[in-house]
Amino acid sequence: MADRLDPILPGSYLGILGGGQLGRMFTHAAQAMGYKVCVLDPDVNSPAGAVAEKHIQADYTDHAALKEMAAICAAASTEFENVPAQALDELEALGVYVAPKSTGVSVAQNRITEKKFLATWQKEAGIGPALHLVIEREADLEHVAEELFPGILKTARMGYDGKGQVTVLNRAELNNAWHTFGQVPCVLEKRMDLDFEVSALVARGHNDEVLAYPVAQNVHKNGILHTSTVPAPSLKQDQEAKIIEAAKAIIRRLDYVGVLCVEFFVLKSGEIVANEIAPRPHNSGHYTQNACVTSQFEQQVRAMARVPLGSTQLVQPSIMLNVLGDEWLTSGSQVEPLWQDVLASPAAKLHLYGKAEPRLARKMGHINFVASQAAEVSAACEQAIKVLRIKR
Task: Kindly give the confidence (pLDDT) of every residue in the chain, 392 residues in length, as a single tens digit, with 9 standing for 90 and above.
Answer: 345 689 999 999 999 999 999 999 999 999 999 999 999 999 999 999 999 999 999 999 999 999 999 999 999 999 988 889 899 999 999 999 999 999 989 988 889 999 999 988 777 667 889 889 999 999 899 889 999 999 999 998 866 555 688 999 999 999 999 999 999 999 999 998 999 999 999 999 999 999 999 999 999 998 899 999 999 999 999 999 999 999 999 999 999 999 999 999 999 999 999 999 999 999 999 999 999 999 999 999 999 999 999 999 999 999 999 999 999 998 778 999 999 999 999 999 999 999 989 999 999 999 999 999 999 999 999 999 999 999 87
Give 308's Cβ-side CA count (13 Å radius): 3
Domain boundaries, the chain: 13-98, 131-190, 194-388
| Superfamily of 131-190 according to CATH | ATP-grasp fold, A domain (3.30.1490.20)
* Predicted local distance difference test score (pLDDT) of residue 142: 85
Distance CA 248, CA 258 (A): 12
* Predicted local distance difference test score (pLDDT) of residue 162: 58
Angle between helices 111-120 and 102-109 (to 10 degrees): 110
* Predicted local distance difference test score (pLDDT) of residue 1: 38
Considering the four listed CATH numbers 3.90.25.10, 3.30.470.20, 3.40.50.11610, 3.40.50.80, the one that applies to the domain covering 194-388 is 3.30.470.20
CATH class of this structure's domain 13-98: alpha beta
Distance CA 66, CA 62 (A): 6
HEC per residue, the chain: CCCCCCCCCCCCEEEEECCCHHHHHHHHHHHHCCCEEEEECCCCCCCCCCCCCEEECCCCCCHHHHHHHHHHEEEEEECCCCCCHHHHHHHHHCCCEECCCHHHHHHHHCHHHHHHHHHHCHHHHCCEECCEEEECCHHHHHHCCHHHCCEEEEECCCCCCCCCEEEECCHHHHHHHHHHCCCCCEEEEECCCEEEEEEEEEEECCCCCEEECCCEEEEEECCEEEEEEECCCCCCHHHHHHHHHHHHHHHHHCCCCEEEEEEEEEECCCCEEEEEEECCCCHHHCCHHHHECCCHHHHHHHHHHCCCCCCCCECCCEEEEEEEHHHHCCCCCCCCCCHHHHCCCCCEEEEECCCCCCCCCCEEEEEEEECCCHHHHHHHHHHHHHHHCCCC
In order of 32, 314, 349, the CA distances from 371 in angstroms are 24, 12, 11
Distance CA 83, CA 62 (A): 12
